[in-house]
Chain A
Amino acid sequence: MNDETHPEKVPLSREALREVNEISLLAGALLMQNGAETARVEETVHRIGTALGANWLDILVSPNAIIVTSSSGDEFRTRLRRVLVLGVNMRVIDEVNSLSRRISAGDVDRHTAKEELTRISHLPAYNRWLIVAMVGLGCAAFSRLFGGDAITFIITFLAASIAMLTRQELSRRAFNPLLITIVTAFVASTVALLMSRLNPVPTATALLSSVLLLIPGVHLINAAQDIIKGHLVTGIVRGFLGAVITACIALGILLAMSLFQQAVL
């Protein structure tokens, strides 16, 4: 850590230090549960805390919790926060990043920072039908990259869109994420299999393109980044999570295939 000590920094009161610790911890937890790698979480927490007046922050990122200790003068405060959901929301990461820039430029005080973080944690996602359509189109574009024709494109679009709808509905009802993955993969491959029965076209492309929306790309890439940067524990856990999700996708496809008696290649 290359932070210079600031002898001119005024020691914070116990109350003020608690607030600084809370704000940094909340920012870190927001980053973590929305798909940031561990190094980014640590850097952002440290930057926000020191910019708000603390002398030093120690951060421990564990796979499902984050602990932050802020020190100032002779005083220090520590708090742990559980992070149970590892999702992906790039807008939150972008907003927390720009908030931390504004804080370190000295434009934002503690009170505003807290309000901003509350606002960020309630940011809306894109319209759900837009997501359904765009994910359908994205997967259909993959079928073209894999060499599919126009009919495959349409089949993939429908299968992936229906799968995305299923996933949204199941997530809203708070089912287990792995179960959601299996069911969604099953729905996608069922639609792809049945529709390609109507049109005698090679099915493999449509089938494997329509389950791509479930690929745990963020987990796998973060796992590699964490391991490269020395955060082995979080890296291994994320990599394992990615592998388990991939196995769930495979299971969903297998169920559909064995149900419809159709092994395709």
Chain B
Amino acid sequence: MNTPELLGFILNDMLWAGLAALGFAILFNVPARLLPACIVCGMVGHLTRELLVSYAHVSLEAATFAGAIVIGVFGSALAHRLHAPAPIFQIAAAITLVPGAFAYRSMLGFIRVTSMTGVSGNAALEEALIFSIRTAVLLGAIAIGIAVPTLLFRRKTLIQD
């Protein structure tokens, strides 16, 4: 890969991931002073995943897990600096990792199964099952990935900030 191409890839991805995180942060009524942190979390998380998928050829599931861990770590760090609860940054950012296309294709598969006549729909059933399993695994990877810093570094404290 050459450097300008990679740089373009990174900037493009960060622009749209940041905008997506901002949109959802506004929807969740995140206070204005915390919006930049939400954008940063969304950018780094999504960029991590895309770089891993496109350039390191990691599976989407593993890359999403890595992206979610990055969001979890950045969210916790920013929470300390800004004295605000970490989920505020993490949730808006995590939405950028949601596997919309997979959820959609599993649904399409289910539609095809229910509108079938006869019992010759193995392909439709396969599609529905494969994509719903992948969607579920991806959602689990996001949720667990975000929790990783909490699980590792806040084992004993009762009080959270």
Interface, chain A (partner B; CB < 8 A): 1-3, 35-37, 39-40, 43, 46-47, 88-94, 97-98, 101, 104, 125-126, 130-131, 134-142, 144-146, 204, 207-209, 212-213, 215, 217-218, 220-221, 223-225, 228, 246, 250, 253-254, 257, 263, 265
| A90-B29, A135-B27, A254-B111 known; A217-B94 Cβ under 8 A | yes
Whether B158 and A46, one on each chain, are in contact in the complex, defined by CB atoms closer than 8 angstroms, is yes
> How far does the Cβ of A166 sit from chain B's closest Cβ, in whole Å?
14
Supposing A220-B143, A254-B111 touch, asked if A125 and B160 sit within 8 A by C-beta, the answer is no
B25 contact set on A, CB distance < 8 A: 90
B158 touches A3 (CB 8 A): yes
Interface flags for B67-98 (1: CB within 8 Å of A; 0: not) read 00000000000000001110110111011101
**With contacts A91-B31, A142-B100 known, is A217 near B95, CB below 8 A?**
yes
Q: A36-B87, A204-B104, A265-B105 are in contact. Are A91 and B26 (CB under 8 A)?
A: no
- List of A residues within 8 angstroms of B23 by Cβ: 134-139, 141
B107 located at the interface, meaning its Cβ lies under 8 Å from any Cβ of chain A in the complex: yes
- Any A CB within 8 A of the CB of B63: no
Residues of B whose CB lies within 8 Å of any CB of A are 12-13, 15-17, 19-31, 34, 46, 83-85, 87-88, 90-92, 94-96, 98, 100-101, 103-105, 107-108, 110-112, 139-140, 142-144, 146-147, 150-151, 156-161
A203 to B33: give the CA distance in the assembly, Å.
Answer: 37
B107/A130 in contact, CB under 8 A: no
A91-B13 CB under 8 A given contacts A1-B158, A142-B100, A263-B108: no
Given A138-B22, A139-B23, also A40-B85 (CB < 8 A)? yes
Can you report 24 A-B residue pairs in the complex whose CB atoms are below 8 A from each other?
A46-B158, A46-B159, A88-B27, A90-B25, A90-B91, A91-B29, A91-B30, A97-B161, A98-B83, A125-B29, A126-B26, A134-B23, A135-B24, A136-B23, A137-B22, A141-B20, A145-B16, A207-B104, A215-B98, A215-B100, A224-B146, A225-B146, A225-B147, A253-B107
Which residues in B have their C-beta under 8 angstroms from that of A144?
Answer: 12, 16
- Given A37-B87, A94-B30, A228-B151, 20 more contacts at CB 8 Å? A2-B158, A35-B28, A88-B27, A89-B29, A90-B25, A90-B92, A91-B30, A93-B88, A135-B26, A138-B20, A142-B16, A142-B100, A212-B98, A221-B90, A221-B142, A223-B143, A250-B110, A257-B111, A263-B111, A263-B112
Indicate which residue in A46, A125, A131, A142 contacts B20 across the interface (CB closer than 8 Å): A142
A125, B31: Cα distance in complex, Å: 9
Selected contact of A94 from candidates B88, B101, B160, CB within 8 Å: B88
User: Hey, which chain A residues are within 8 Å of B100, CB to CB?
Assistant: 142, 146, 208-209, 212, 215
